[in-house]
Amino acid sequence: MADKPAYHYTSVEALLQIVKSKRFRLSNIFFMNDAMEVEWCFNLAREIMLSQNPSTFAPLIDRTQERGFQHVFCGCFSRLKDDLSQWRGYADDGQGVAIEVDVTEIAKANTAYIEKLDVIYSKTKQKAGLDRILKAFLTPIKKGTLAARVGERLKIAHSYFQLSDYAVRCKNPAFSSEKEVRLVLRTTEMSADNVWRYDEELAHKFPNGIDFRLRGKTLVPFVEIEMPLSAIRRIWLGPRFGEEMAQIALQLFLSKEGVPDRVVESIKRSRASYRG
């Protein structure tokens, strides 16, 4: 069964790169548009821990205050069709496109395990998820078990990993209008102490390694996953996309690169009235 459609708002240049390479870029989570990625959820977790049992949670609170780099990569889509705010914010100020896709098909086309996550914006739901993780942390370890012999250190590391994993799903409610769905690729390993050192062995655990691009003046780490053209359901043109000849040129390009005729023939223009 096909997933509900999702939309990737982007520039024409990025569309050309995606279609020609048949790959899709996932950027490192710490370089997303929300400066509080991960930290938003950690802050919320600390609020809960400080209000419930600060002394018992103290080592976990300390751990979440350490801002550490992680190899977590995300590709962002929206459930919203023809959304003006996203045309303006992500699609070259309305001159770009939105690629309507089946994100489940993209995930299944890759050999690596890629999670599809609908972002949680509700603080009530976020707190409920955090409560489950923190309750497990408070559960006493039975004496004489392997867990007891390994000790408290492993317990803290495990709970921290669970919090980090959950943080990828949560965003500030201020972004709720985007209705974001994500494709997430990560390793299960913690980053080394020297996070600046490029680790070939770790990089090879991603399908196409780790690479870098410039966004403005900032260097952004990214990975690429396979993007089957069959996963594209439709191409939407932004409210400031070019005239008819520009559309014909785009259709000719898509057809040349093997995008299915059903997509090339069904291109839609935005109904948003926006001049920029």
Domain boundaries, given as residue ranges, for the chain: 6-269
- The residue count for the chain: 276
Is residue 265 over pLDDT 90?
A: yes
Other Cβ atoms within 10 Å of 9 Cβ, number: 27
7: how many CB neighbours lie within 10 A of its CB? Answer: 25
Beta carbons within 8 Å of 170's beta carbon, 6+ residues apart: 40, 41, 44, 119, 120, 121, 126, 129
| pLDDT of res. 157 | 85
The rounded distance, in Å, linking the Cα atoms of 138 and 150 is 17
pLDDT at 201 over 80: yes
Predicted confidence at residue 257, as pLDDT, reads: 98
Asked if residues 122 and 159 have their Cβ atoms less than 8 Å apart, the reply is no
Q: Are the C-beta atoms of residues 61 and 146 closer than 8 Å to each other?
A: no
pTM: 0.91
d(CA 48, CA 44): 6
Q: 195: how many CB neighbours lie within 10 A of its CB?
A: 11
Beta strands in 45-158 (DSSP E): 72-78, 97-101, 115-118
Q: Is the pLDDT of residue 1 over 70?
A: no
Burial class of residue 220 (count of CB atoms within 10 Å of its CB; 0-12, 13-18, 19+): middle
pLDDT at residue 81 tops 80: yes
Q: How many Å apart are CA 94 and CA 105, to the nearest integer?
A: 27
Mean pLDDT of 217-221: 95
What's the angle, vertex CA 254, arms to CA 248 and CA 258, rounded to 5?
Answer: 145
How many C-beta atoms surround the C-beta of residue 67 within 10 A? 9
Sign of the Cα torsion 214, 22, 197, 31 reads positive
Distance of CA 206 to the CA centre of its chain: 15
Whether residue 70 is predicted with pLDDT greater than 90 in this model: the reply is no
pLDDT tens digits for range 126-177: 999 999 999 989 887 665 555 555 567 788 888 998 999 999 999 999 999 9
